[in-house]
Amino acid sequence: MSKMKKGCKNQVIEALFVVFMLFLFGGCINQKKIDESNHTKKPNIIYILADDLGYGDLSLTGQEKFLTPNIDKLAENGMFFTQHFSGSTVCAPSRSSLMTGQHTGHTFIRGNREINPEGQYPLDSSVITIPELLKSAGYVTGAFGKWGLGYPSSDGDPNNQGFDEFYGFNCQRLGHNYYPYHIWHNQTKELLEGNNEKNTETYGPDIIHQKAISFLEKNKDTTFFMYYPSIIPHAELVAPEIYMEKFRGKLLPEKKYMGVDDGKLYKNGGYGSQKEPHAAFAAMVYLLDKQVGEISKKLEELGIADNTLIIFTSDNGPHQEGGADPEYFNSNADLRGYKRDLYEGGIRVPMIAYWPGIINANSTSNHISAFWDFLPTVCEIAQIKTPQNIDGISFLPELLGEKQEKHSYLYWEFHEQGGKQALRFGDWKGIRLNMSNNSEAPIELYNLASDIGEQHNIAAENPGIVEQIVNIMEKEHTYSKEFSFEYENN
């Protein structure tokens, strides 16, 4: 054989070998792209979680009553997910799904169960969470905001679930109130003397935000994970005067809300009265947007923005409590339902991913994803072995513009209001209500491709699809004595 033929043959063999290696080690390509981004350490990760922010509460998703320029800027320079779903339709199970990578048929916490005098039913010590995984990989971990997954010093306490530092509201009920009597810094209960009795000197989101900024400054030379579960814009509707004045008189007509202004529920879960609920809601989202902008700016100042992934989203759909008026603001962007519903308005949430130099700017993804996908995504980014028995699929390939694995379906269950189940199955959406009274309650069926508002129940015309949904629902629900369909907490 001539040298030329031998050379050609060798080139073909080498080319085939390269193709084979790319196929065999395709999972390494994502990490290679990250490693080649001129950084010598693993990326920082910031997860910003709004509280009860609806799909339509951002100007980028159609909000016309106010603007959210800083959050919009994240999307302009990152990727917006049009079909991202929360873990549940209320706080605690949604956050449990996020932290554990499991949907609500499997995750440990499945309801907002209270533990007196302060806190919620705790995550078990055996549960593997995102901060534990990242801490094992050398990340410094911090949480700033509302926890809701275990009362102080319990197994579910954030310090016992992998967070080096926690500052904020341990208890969701006390997180209803924006001028609290106290705040938790790790295991220390810090009394806010300026808020004693009926005084309102210290606005909770302000001091929590300051601690979060300090965490960034302290850890600029390390690798960190910062979880920022804001209490904004959950009821009550209260904002400092400097923000109220920006919207006062501009969102008429106002409808005065008469709430709790004294007694045992005052600053103990009761929602305070508000003469201007529209202005207050807009002011609160304005502040949330401002704080998001300050986090981004701080990363730039510290020179670590290019090595930091920011995720922004919300824990469920918009609420109707404390004087909130989601219809006035079109907070669910014409989706059906609100918080506590498993219709799209209760669980479809805006999600933005921002990572300069890694994620293409001003990109949009229609990939169907959910909270339980964040854990495997984090594991892939940090080069951690993904735990078994999770329901999530890493969406890192989607962030990088590469081939993305898709879910066969997404599943939810909710243990209030008689018990509910929902399944996203391609473009099909199946919903079952009143599970507490009837485990075989009928399925409502909607085709989201043609009926995003879930107005036309077409179950009768599609018995085969309904049967598939019923079978999947039965498979995905695992019994939990702590959170069964018989348990309700309204």
Q: What is the pLDDT of residues 228-255, one digit of tens each?
A: 999 999 999 999 999 999 999 999 999 9
Q: Are residues 360 and 472 in the same domain?
A: no
- State how many domains the chain has: 2
Q: Which residues of 430-449 are buried (b: 16+ CB within 10 A; e: fewer)?
A: bbbbebbeeeebebbbbbbe
Q: Are residues 157 and 229 in the same domain?
A: yes
Distance CA 97, CA 374 (A): 9
Q: For residues 323 and 58, is the Cβ–Cβ distance under 8 A?
A: no
| pLDDT top residue among 35 and 222 | 222
Confidence of residue 18 (pLDDT cuts 50, 70, 90): very low
| Helix, strand or coil, per DSSP, at residue 298 | helix
| Helix, strand or coil, per DSSP, at residue 63 | coil
User: What pLDDT score was predicted for residue 294?
Assistant: 98
| pLDDT top residue among 361 and 24 | 361
Tell me the helix, strand and coil percentages in the chain, rounded to 5.
30, 15, 50
CATH number of the structural domain spanning residue 230: 3.40.720.10
What mean pLDDT is reported for the chain? 92
Q: Are residues 328 and 460 in the same domain?
A: no
Closest of 109, 112, 143 to residue 123, by C-alpha: 109
Instruction: Judge whether residue 8 has pLDDT over 50.
Output: no
Q: What is the pLDDT of residues 184-205, one digit of tens each?
A: 999 999 999 999 999 999 999 9
Asked whether residue 483 is domain-assigned, the answer is no
Q: Are residues 433 and 380 in the same domain?
A: no
Q: Are residues 121 and 226 in the same domain?
A: yes
Q: Are residues 423 and 355 in the same domain?
A: no
CA distances from 150 to 124, 153, 232, 372 (A): 9, 8, 20, 19
| pLDDT top residue among 49 and 480 | 49
Q: What is the pLDDT of residues 51-95, one digit of tens each?
A: 999 999 999 999 999 999 999 999 999 999 999 999 999 999 999
Average of per-residue pLDDT across 276-304: 98
Distance CA 74, CA 64 (A): 19
The pTM assigned to this predicted structure is 0.92
Asked whether residue 194 is domain-assigned, the answer is yes
Asked whether residue 152 is domain-assigned, the answer is yes
Asked whether residue 2 is domain-assigned, the answer is no
Instruction: Judge whether residue 144 has pLDDT over 50.
Output: yes
Asked whether residue 18 is domain-assigned, the answer is no
Side-chain half-sphere exposure of 324, counting CA atoms within 13 A: 26
Q: Which of 351, 380, 407 is the last residue of a domain?
A: 407
Q: Which of 386, 407, 428 is the last residue of a domain?
A: 407
Instruction: Judge whether residue 20 has pLDDT over 70.
Output: no
CATH number of the structural domain spanning residue 419: 3.30.1120.10
For 302, the enclosing helix (H) or strand (E) is helix 277-302
CA distances from 428 to 425, 438, 445, 447, 460 (A): 5, 23, 7, 5, 14
Asked whether residue 80 is domain-assigned, the answer is yes
DSSP letter string, 416-453: STT-EEEEEETTEEEEE--TTT-TTPPEEEEETTT-TT
Q: What is the dihedral of CA 439, 430, 398, 85, to 10 degrees?
A: -70
Q: Are residues 220 and 350 in the same domain?
A: yes
Asked whether residue 386 is domain-assigned, the answer is yes
Confidence of residue 32 (pLDDT cuts 50, 70, 90): low
Q: Are residues 346 and 199 in the same domain?
A: yes
Q: Are residues 197 and 53 in the same domain?
A: yes
Determine the structural domain holding residue 435 and report its residue range.
413-476
Distance CA 216, CA 226 (A): 8
Q: Are residues 328 and 418 in the same domain?
A: no
Q: Which of 359, 376, 407 is the last residue of a domain?
A: 407
Q: Which residues 6+ apart lie within 8 Å of 458 measured at CB?
A: 445, 446, 447
Asked whether residue 177 is domain-assigned, the answer is yes
Amino acid in the structure at residue 219:
N
CA distances from 8 to 1, 3, 13, 16, 17 (A): 11, 9, 9, 12, 14
Q: Kindly state the tokens that stand for 403.
A: 């081939």
Q: Are residues 293 and 440 in the same domain?
A: no
Q: Are residues 364 and 239 in the same domain?
A: yes
